[in-house]
């Protein structure tokens, strides 16, 4: 099924009020079997902006769609110029306290799995295992012709060689790793082809307007079926790709808990929404449960 781009959602009246009480979250994690579903909000403390929160990137930036990317060389030139510049910052982002807390909960047997809507690979970097990256990851590249995969760092080196001296000043970096550049700044940026067949390269992520692979969706549905509860971290749940799992859990009678500072499209399905910053909230819950959180490097390098 093709997912239509959903760029905004307006909270409706009648949503349940938020709380600052972390006890329900602590109780769910204490019981175990918790499935985490994370969104862009968990990575803001690593220096990666979210899409829809206060100051979110959608106020100034419309993400590239799959149809635009595959529809013309100029769109791909614009995408890769902006993404290449953004990768210099995005690729150096480090896990924050929220990512480290999730990894700690996993190591201590509190979680049944992690699904992330993010493409920043920070859950994996923090030490979480068997993470389902629903929308893929920017650290991999795939050829649309032959299907060959390659590391993003390899492509970054090739693009550096092909575009010596390319260093425009961007207005900002977005959650998809895209830097804000004008058409003039993009200029004559050179895009490089697949080294195997000469085909078109694309980051191994699900663009807006593109379908999430069916087998990946089914794996997530299976994780929801196996979980005792669903804990949503830092997602507005605006797009159906994440909201469907909240609905599935609620319909199955599994408690849905949300930690997000702003209202979400899934609030009416949740037993609670905690409106607290994620890093501090999850660290506090870990402390209550006696789960040690590794003190790694937070923020951006």
Model pTM score: 0.88
Specify the DSSP class assigned to residue 119. S
Q: What is the pLDDT of residue 51?
A: 56
| Binding residue positions | 39-59, 117-120, 143, 146, 194, 197, 234-236, 278
% of the chain exceeding 90 in pLDDT = 71
Give 131 or 179, the one with higher predicted confidence.
Answer: 131
Q: CA torsion 19→24→26→29, rounded to 10°?
A: -130
Q: Tell me if 8 is assigned to some domain.
A: no
Is residue 140 classed as helix, strand or coil in its secondary structure?
Answer: strand
pLDDT at site 185: 81
Instruction: Based on the fold, state whether residues 195 and 147 are members of the same structural domain.
Output: yes
Do residues 176 and 237 share a domain?
no
Catalytically annotated residue among 84, 99, 135, 269: 135
CB-based contact 214:224 (threshold 8 Å): no
Tell me, yes or no, whether 9 lies in a domain: no
Whether the CB-CB separation of 143 and 199 falls below 8 Å is answered with: yes
User: Which pLDDT score, from 0 to 100, does residue 167 have?
Assistant: 81
Q: Which residues are annotated as a binding site for Zn(2+)?
A: 143, 146, 194, 197
Give the model's confidence band at 259: pLDDT under 50 very low, under 70 low, under 90 confident, else very high: very high
Same domain, 146 and 283: no
Task: Judge contact between 175 and 40, C-beta under 8 A.
Answer: yes
Residues 84 and 176 in one domain: yes
Of 150, 183, 205, the one marking the end of a domain is 205
Same-domain status, 77 and 169:
yes
Least confident span in 20-24, 101-105, 187-191: 187-191
User: Cα separation of 247 and 237, whole Å?
Assistant: 11
Rg (C-alpha) for the chain, rounded Å, is: 19
Q: What is the mean pLDDT of residues 181-200?
A: 90
Angle at CA 243, nearest 5°, toward 216 and 236? 120
Using the predicted structure, report yes or no on whether residue 173 has a pLDDT greater than 50: yes
Same domain, 75 and 218: no
pLDDT of 4: 42
Q: pLDDT digit string (tens) for 205-245?
A: 999 889 899 999 999 999 999 999 999 999 999 989 899 99
Whether 219 is covered by a domain: the verdict is yes
Higher pLDDT, 277 or 7: 277
The rounded percent of the chain whose pLDDT value lies above 70 is 87
CATH of residue 101: 3.40.50.1220
Other CB atoms within 10 Å distance of the CB of residue 5? 14
Phi, psi of 69 (to 5 degrees): -60, -45
Look at the block and give the residue holding tokens 């001296």.
Answer: 165
Summarize the annotated binding site for NAD(+) as residue ranges: 39-59, 117-120, 234-236, 278
Asked, for residue 180, whether it belongs to a domain, the answer is yes
Of the pLDDT bands very low, low, confident and very high (cuts 50, 70, 90), residue 297 is very low
pLDDT value of position 58: 46
Does 187 share its domain with 288? no
What's the average model confidence in pLDDT over 252-265? 97
Pairwise CA distance, residues 91 & 74, whole Å: 24
Give the closest residue to 204 by CA, choosing from 179, 176, 180: 176
Q: How far apart are CA 3 and CA 239, in angstroms?
A: 8
Query: How is residue 273 annotated by DSSP?
Result: E
Whole-angstrom Cα distance, residue 235 to residue 225?
20
Res 170: pLDDT: 67
Whether residue 4 lies inside any domain: the answer is no
Selection from 176, 211, 205, 225 nearest residue 43 by Cα: 176
Q: Express each pLDDT in 52-93 by its tens digit.
A: 455 444 444 567 889 999 999 999 999 999 899 888 878 889
Question: Same domain for 118 and 264?
Answer: yes
What gap in Å lies between CA 94 and CA 293, rounded to an integer? 15
pLDDT greater than 90 at residue 257: yes
| Whether residues 36 and 168 fall in one domain | no
Enumerate residues 6+ apart whose C-beta is below 8 A from 253.
Answer: none
My answer on whether 146 and 72 are in the same domain is yes
Residue 99 a catalytic site member: no
**CATH of residue 66:** 3.30.1600
pLDDT tens-digit series, residues 82-119: 899 888 878 889 999 999 999 999 999 999 999 999 99
Chosen domain end from 159, 188, 205: 205
Query: Residue 10 domain-assigned?
Result: no
Question: Per-residue pLDDT for 157 more than 60?
Answer: yes
Pick the residue with more confidence: 238 or 301? 238
H-helix or E-strand spanning residue 80: helix 73-90
H or E, element range at 26: helix 23-31
Of 91, 294, 97, 79, which Cα lies nearest the Cα of 180? Answer: 79
Nearest to 76 by CA among 184, 202, 209: 202
Which domain does 251 fall in, by range?
Answer: 17-48+95-135+212-301
Mean pLDDT for all residues in the chain: 89
pLDDT tier at 175, thresholds 50, 70, 90: low
**Helix (H) and strand (E) counts for the chain?**
10, 9
Tokens 């970096």 sit on residue:
173
Over residues 26-34, the mean pLDDT reads 98
Residue 156 lies in a domain: yes
Which one of 187, 205, 223 terminates a domain? 205
- Rounded to the nearest 10 degrees, the angle between the axes of helix 152-162 and helix 73-90 is 110
Mean pLDDT of 245-273: 97
Claim to verify: residue 292 and residue 180 sit in the same structural domain: no
Residue 33 forms part of a structural domain: yes
| Total count of domains within the chain | 2
**Same domain? 37 vs 113:** yes
């Amino acid at each position: 099924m093709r997912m239509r781009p959903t760029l905004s959602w307006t909270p409706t009246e009648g949503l349940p009020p938020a709380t600052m009480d972390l006890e329900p979250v602590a109780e769910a994690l204490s019981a175990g079997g918790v499935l985490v579903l994370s969104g862009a909000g968990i990575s803001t403390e690593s220096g990666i902006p979210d899409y829809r929160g206060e100051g979110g990137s959608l106020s100034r930036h419309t993400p590239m769609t799959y149809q635009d990317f595959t529809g013309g060389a100029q769109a791909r030139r614009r995408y890769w110029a902006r993404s290449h510049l953004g990768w210099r910052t995005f690729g150096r982002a480090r896990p924050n306290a929220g990512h480290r807390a999730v990894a700690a909960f996993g190591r201590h047997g509190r979680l049944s799995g992690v699904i992330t809507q993010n493409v920043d690979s920070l859950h994996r970097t923090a030490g979480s295992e068997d993470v389902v990256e629903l929308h893929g990851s920017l650290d991999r590249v795939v050829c649309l012709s032959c299907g060959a995969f390659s590391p993003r760092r390899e492509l970054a080196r090739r693009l550096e060689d092909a575009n010596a001296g390319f260093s425009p000043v961007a207005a900002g970096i977005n959650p998809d790793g895209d830097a804000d550049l004008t058409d003039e700044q993009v200029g004559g940026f050179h895009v490089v082809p697949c080294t195997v067949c000469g085909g078109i390269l694309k980051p191994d992520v699900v663009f807006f307007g593109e379908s999430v692979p069916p087998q990946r969706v089914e794996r997530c549905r299976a994780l929801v079926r196996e979980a005792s509860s669903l804990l949503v971290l830092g997602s507005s749940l605006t797009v159906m790709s994440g909201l469907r799992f909240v609905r599935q859990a609620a319909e199955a009678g599994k408690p849905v808990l949300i930690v997000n500072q702003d209202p979400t499209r899934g609030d009416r399905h949740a037993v609670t929404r905690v409106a607290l910053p994620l890093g501090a909230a999850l660290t506090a819950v870990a402390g209550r449960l006696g789960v040690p959180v590794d003190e790694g490097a937070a923020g951006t390098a």
